[in-house]
Structure 1
Amino acid sequence: MVSNQNELDLYSEKNEILLNPRWPKEDYEKLWALASHVQEKRKLQGHVWIATSGSTADSVAGTKLVALSKKALLNSAHSVNKHLNSTSQDVWTQVLPHFHVGGLGIEVRASLVGARVVPSLKEQKWDVHHFYETLNAEKCTLSALVPTQVYDLVTHSYKAPSSMRAIVVGGGVFEVELYKKARALGWPVLPSYGMTETASQIATATLQSLEQSEYPSVGLLSHAKVQRNADGFLQIHATSLFTCYAQNTTEGMKSWDPKTDGWFTTEDRGEIIDGALHIQGRSKDYIKIGGEGTNVARLRSLLETTALQMNPSWPAKLALLDMPSDRLGSEIHLVSLLSADDTEKVVQVYSEKVLPFEKVRKIYYINEIPRSDLGKVLWGELRKRL
């Protein structure tokens, strides 16, 4: 149904639909039909359909799709290549899948400069040992990872091969503590900010930041502009912006373009200081507990840092989330794969760092935390299980 070829004709008017081949057949076909319907209705040409992370969708079939023009993908790739000083001498290692904007972005960047791409998944899945072996064997120079993958490298105390000169890290919050541990092992990690809607990163730390020890600022790339609206949300204007959304809803197939005068308003609150982005959290992360406001993303960051300092393997076995409460409106719960004793140790230290209303009020002990292919917690599915 969908081509598995990793090479797209980046200059043709043909449309491409890139979906996760491991999705249930019925859901896969519904999303394929959605993209086909919308591109015909909107008369799209030269576009690539990619799914958003789906971490909040209640079902796979309800995953939001993004239409990116091939021109947008090329504009993004050109800007990233310029930022990383990428040339034909570089060897990219690819562990983000072809149907994810991060994986596809690597292919487009390499194509523009004639660089080589080395696939580094093992049987189409992330395996930190296989990845590390590939880096050394192929003398890879560049890569793009999500924080979960960096976490795995740190947990196994792998030291960066001398050939590696830059790794763009995006797709989630890159904790300061994790950044420091990765740098201590020599990994040339560059925090970044981007999304499927912008065809990958629009802001990334510089190569020069690798010469310093502190967590770097994340500066805008040449193809993007960012401003803050009156409500504190970041708005993006870029030559890599998406064309439209598409989604299966209870009312049927829906497509829409949320941009206003070429500006896309994100769900992220933040500010721009001297050309650098400072992300404060997503709108959905701001909740009220008994009338007191707090940011769930900040609390998750505190929990992860606390667990990481206690045992490098613990953060991946914990998930903090807000749950509805008749009395308080919302309250903080914790999901754990750890033993009761270890969980209580983490909760005790976490509690000392937060305000009383931000403390954990309930703990669930389960066997598995549902995650996406990139290691992101599937919050919608997790909430259903609880």
Structure 2
Amino acid sequence: MEASELIRSTFWTERRARVLAPPSLEEEGARLERELRGDEGVVFATSGASGRPKWVFMRRAALLSSAEAVNKHLSVSPRDRLLLPLPLYHVGGFGMAARAFVGGCDLRALPGRWDGLRFVEALREHGSTLTSLVPTQVHDLVVQNLEAPRSLRAVIVGGASLDELKGQAARELGWPLLQSYGMTEAASQVATAHLERAKGPFRAAPLPIMDQWECRLCPEGRLELRGDALFDFYLRWDGSVFCREKDRDAEGWFRSGDAAELKGRSLTLRGRADRRVKVLGEFVDLQVLEDELRAQLGGLEVYLLPIPDGRRGWLLQPVVEGSASEGGKVDDLIELINERVPGFSRMERACFMDQLPRTALGKVDGATTRIILLSR
């Protein structure tokens, strides 16, 4: 599918299901599209904790509701020009095209693979005013010391929370970054910084919840949400048929996998709830340990992988991107952290990979990392 198709009314009025599958799932996506003949909607793939893909079925009305709300939040008008550097099979890229359609804006897609310099050149040539990036792309712009074109008024950062030091470095290069939080099940954004935050010090949290969403916390501290832009159901392949799962309660609330804090209409994410494990009977937040180790490693990427263990419950295995020649230095840092934390939070000696496997948007693919590591 081309981005130009999404800014024509025919796509939004047709009465059929369209499956937007990433390259690795094209065969399953084609099979699913055949199964959904007679349904109206758009289907995206998202990964579950086990690594098995889940398919998220969205009605077109929900996707348009999200686009209208985001356009209102960002004061989008027909004068805006949008550059799309994200794949359409991801809801973040698709959402940009939907917002261009709703806002009557000019839309251009960045062709080919991501390249920071080519992206900046395309922004200048197009006179783009709005775009969206993931933290990995922001990192590339900072490392290459690339300045933002003057035409830009906002850059939405999604897919994950951007490190505030990296965000400030990008801000000093003129990039008007706005942190956002969203999910496939919500058709894109749930909470996004206000436009006035595009200037001054970069802050990743807290974020104002967008008007179309009701949010609350469940007793375990996970975020629940309800609104017109919520997905309809999941589709899972059980080996013979696709099963539909309506993962909402009787009142329409959807429970996410994200731990959060709420203060009025302000949201602060505390990481994935499924990144907490019990070691020796005590809960350990993998994200907190991983963030501390990453900060100590001075730029090396790391993923903290929990491995089942009969005695402790889980072993905490750091997997570091880089050469094993760094092993002594990394293990020394792990030992220093282990001396400061309770026994149940102590990490194992590091394993190394030349390159950590990543999703299309640059996140570390935990399920694939586990498969590679355990197959060694």
1:115 and 1:382, CA in 2 relative to 1: closer, same or farther beyond 3 A? Answer: same
CA contact (8 A) 1:55 1:372 kept: no
How many percent identity over aligned positions? Answer: 31
AA aligned opposite 1:336: V
Partners of 2:21 and 2:220 lie apart in 1 by: 34
Matched with 2:44 is 50
CA contact (8 A) 1:237 1:262 kept: yes
What 5-or-longer segments of structure 2 have no aligned partner? Answer: none
SS at match of 1:201: strand
1:66 and 1:240, CA in 2 relative to 1: closer, same or farther beyond 3 A? Answer: same
Partners of 2:165 and 2:3 lie apart in 1 by: 38
Match of 1:355 among 316, 341, 344: 341
SS at match of 1:7: helix
SS at match of 1:372: coil
Partners of 1:159 and 1:5 lie apart in 2 by: 26
SS at match of 1:87: coil
CA contact (8 A) 2:177 2:202 kept: no
CA contact (8 A) 1:319 1:334 kept: yes
CA contact (8 A) 1:197 1:242 kept: yes
AA aligned opposite 1:269: A
Matched with 1:254 is 243
Matched with 2:86 is 96
Match of 2:172 among 156, 181, 184: 184
Matched with 1:381 is 368
AA aligned opposite 1:331: L
AA aligned opposite 2:348: R
- Equivalent residues in 2 for 1:264-343, closer than 5 Å: 264-307=254-297, 310-311=298-299, 314-315=300-301, 318-340=302-324, 342-343=326-327
CA contact (8 A) 1:55 1:380 kept: no
Match of 1:197 among 145, 165, 185: 185
Matched with 2:69 is 79
Partners of 2:43 and 2:72 lie apart in 1 by: 25
1:82 and 1:323, CA in 2 relative to 1: closer, same or farther beyond 3 A? Answer: same
Match of 1:371 among 331, 354, 358: 358
Partners of 2:48 and 2:142 lie apart in 1 by: 25
1:5 and 1:83, CA in 2 relative to 1: closer, same or farther beyond 3 A? Answer: closer
Q: CA deviation at 1:237?
A: 0.7
Q: CA deviation at 1:131?
A: 1.1
AA aligned opposite 2:121: E
CA contact (8 A) 2:79 2:105 kept: yes
CA contact (8 A) 1:35 1:246 kept: no
SS at match of 1:86: coil
1:347 and 1:208, CA in 2 relative to 1: closer, same or farther beyond 3 A? Answer: farther
Report Cα offsets for 1:5-36 as digits up to 9, x if no partner: 6414113323211112x32xxx5223322343
Report Cα offsets for 1:301-341 as digits up to 9, x if no partner: 2233334xx34xx33xx322222223321122122332345
Partners of 1:343 and 1:91 lie apart in 2 by: 47
SS at match of 1:305: helix
Matched with 1:169 is 157
What 5-or-longer segments of structure 1 have no aligned partner? Answer: none
Matched with 1:109 is 99
Q: CA deviation at 1:77?
A: 0.5
Report Cα offsets for 1:166-209 as digits up to 9, x if no partner: 11111123222222222222211111111000000011011112
Matched with 2:32 is 34
Pairing 1:226–2:237 present: no
Q: CA deviation at 1:286?
A: 0.7
Q: Which has the higher contact order (CA 8 A, sep 6+)?
A: 1
TM-score (normalised: structure 1): 0.87
Pairing 1:10–2:5 present: no
Partners of 2:187 and 2:335 lie apart in 1 by: 39
SS at match of 1:293: strand
TM-score (normalised: structure 2): 0.89
SS at match of 2:88: coil
Aligned residues between the structures: 364
CA contact (8 A) 2:83 2:128 kept: yes
CA contact (8 A) 2:64 2:98 kept: yes
Report Cα offsets for 1:192-234 as digits up to 9, x if no partner: 1110000000110111123332515210111111011222221
1:164 and 1:336, CA in 2 relative to 1: closer, same or farther beyond 3 A? Answer: same
CA contact (8 A) 1:332 1:362 kept: no
SS at match of 1:10: helix
Partners of 1:55 and 1:232 lie apart in 2 by: 20
Match of 1:141 among 126, 129, 153: 129
1:249 and 1:94, CA in 2 relative to 1: closer, same or farther beyond 3 A? Answer: same
1:144 and 1:231, CA in 2 relative to 1: closer, same or farther beyond 3 A? Answer: same
